Amino acid sequence: MRILRIATEGARALTGHKLRTFFMMAGTIVGIAALTVIMAVGAGTEKKVMKRVNAFGTHAIMITAGGGKGFSPPQAGISTLRLEDAEAVRTQIGGVDVVAPFAIKRGMSVKAGANQVQTTVMAIGQEWHDAWEWYAAGGEPISSEDVAAMSRVCLLGTLTAKDLFGDQNPIGEYIQIENVRFKVKGILQERGVSPMGESFDDRLVIPLTTGLRRLYNQDYITNIRVKVKDPAQIEAISGEIRQLLHERHHIAPPKEDDFGIWSAADIARMARGVSGTLNILLTALAGLSLLVGGIVLMNILLISVGERKKEIGLRRALGATQGDIFRQFLMESLSVTLLGMVLGSALGWAASSLMAGITKFPVVVSWQPFAFALGFALVVGLFFGVQPARRAARLKPVDALR
């Protein structure tokens, strides 16, 4: 009963000074709302990244020309990968199912009638379809005969096909890539977005030999995609490929690799590292807001103690103990932060939902932000409420009533 009576007295004191109570909880509301949005956006971003990583293929390894620590498309003119490297991987590495060398050129001019686009052109072998599990949705895929004959045929991505031909069926029609004429042989299956955020569907593919000799005028490739039989062996096979390419390219420490080897796990690890660092920074900012809110709460409560000396003295004179006064002010502090937590969580949830609706940004609202919010509210209320509660409890009844 005593605790209930103390809680009632604290609630009456807070509702009697609504503006002051609002200012005390303002920092908590802002901090909790920011924390809720940050965690919701962070969870949504990770979900989106993992979806893209899975689209890369959990059983695939990508070898890229050029060195570097980040997974990025090879720059133009880098000639450190050859068809002989792909053949060596195919014949000398165990556990490999498919090896598909290919070359990429970005921003190439493609025309169909009056329509013209700048898109990515990929020169591929027949193995590429199996390596990516990416086949023709209409028409026919690139075949070994196309590669052997250096045929001028192509398959269009769904977005490229729409840009060039609209709703018309492009199969059997002709396009121009730079100044070379190609016949549209098929349409690639719709694929979506790559782990790096680019559209898989804004591209077209041509036979590898045709691309290297008739279009690109080069004898090197930019990538090799390796599909392994057992995904559990990816790390081991990646190490074997690295060792093989070191031998072929005559690379020994301290000389840096002139190639990169990446798997879905590597890309996921890199993406989590970037998003994790950003989340830590933003969470620290939200924590700073809560800290400022706690300091404001403590100072206003200290001012409140000075304004309520007579009330405290009268309660002490009527039999309230120091513990009763201490608990009342501490409960007021906790009530402010917990109410701020509820309002801040509601505001954060509303802001997250609004962001998802307007910007289509991925947002995942779970129980975790609310659990963290409750923990922060309790810590802030207890830590910053102790000093004002202690000062109020130490007031002597005689001095307080003067």
Among candidate residues 269, 248, 270, 249, the one with its CA nearest the CA of residue 258: 249
Distances (CA, A) of 353 to 27, 282, 314, 362: 22, 19, 49, 10
Query: In terms of domains, do 17 and 117 share one?
Result: no
Paired with 205 in beta bridges are 122, 155
Query: In terms of domains, do 37 and 160 share one?
Result: no
Is 252 within a domain?
A: no
Residue 1: pLDDT over 50: no
Residue 69: pLDDT over 60: no
Last residue of a domain, one of 199, 229, 259: 229
Query: In terms of domains, do 45 and 66 share one?
Result: no
CA distance 227 to 98: 5
Q: Is 48 exposed, middle or buried (0-12, 13-18, 19+ CB in 10 A)?
A: middle
Domain range for 358: 2-51+269-401
Query: In terms of domains, do 203 and 88 share one?
Result: yes
CB atoms within 10 A of CB 200: 20
Is 244 within a domain?
A: no
Residue 11: pLDDT over 50: yes
With beta carbons less than 8 A apart as the criterion, state whether 122 and 104 touch: yes
The residue with greater pLDDT, 259 or 289, is 259
Is 358 within a domain?
A: yes
SS3 197: coil
Query: In terms of domains, do 103 and 219 share one?
Result: yes
With beta carbons less than 8 A apart as the criterion, state whether 87 and 267 touch: no
Angle between helices 83-92 and 234-249 (to 10 degrees): 130
**Residue recorded with tokens 């994790």:** 276
Residue 328: pLDDT over 70: yes
Last residue of a domain, one of 229, 251, 286: 229
Three-state secondary structure readout of 225-248 = EEEECCHHHHHHHHHHHHHHHHHH
Residue 10: pLDDT over 50: no
Q: Which has the minimum average pLDDT: 92-101, 171-180, 292-301?
A: 292-301
Is 236 within a domain?
A: no
CA distance 185 to 212: 19
Is 237 within a domain?
A: no
Query: In terms of domains, do 163 and 186 share one?
Result: yes
Query: In terms of domains, do 366 and 288 share one?
Result: yes
Query: In terms of domains, do 276 and 221 share one?
Result: no
Is 102 within a domain?
A: yes
Query: In terms of domains, do 30 and 70 share one?
Result: no
Query: In terms of domains, do 296 and 365 share one?
Result: yes
Cis peptide before 101 (omega within 30 of 0): no
Residue 223: pLDDT over 80: yes
Is 372 within a domain?
A: yes
User: What is the domain count for the chain?
Assistant: 2
Residues 6+ apart with CB under 8 A from 85: 63, 101, 224, 245, 248
With beta carbons less than 8 A apart as the criterion, state whether 312 and 325 touch: yes
CA distance 187 to 256: 40
Is 247 within a domain?
A: no
Q: What is the DSSP string of 277-288?
A: HHHHHHHHHHHH
Query: In terms of domains, do 27 and 117 share one?
Result: no
Query: In terms of domains, do 332 and 219 share one?
Result: no
With beta carbons less than 8 A apart as the criterion, state whether 75 and 88 touch: no
Last residue of a domain, one of 229, 245, 277: 229
> In this predicted model, what pLDDT tens digit does every residue of 110-119 receive, in sequence order?
999 889 999 9
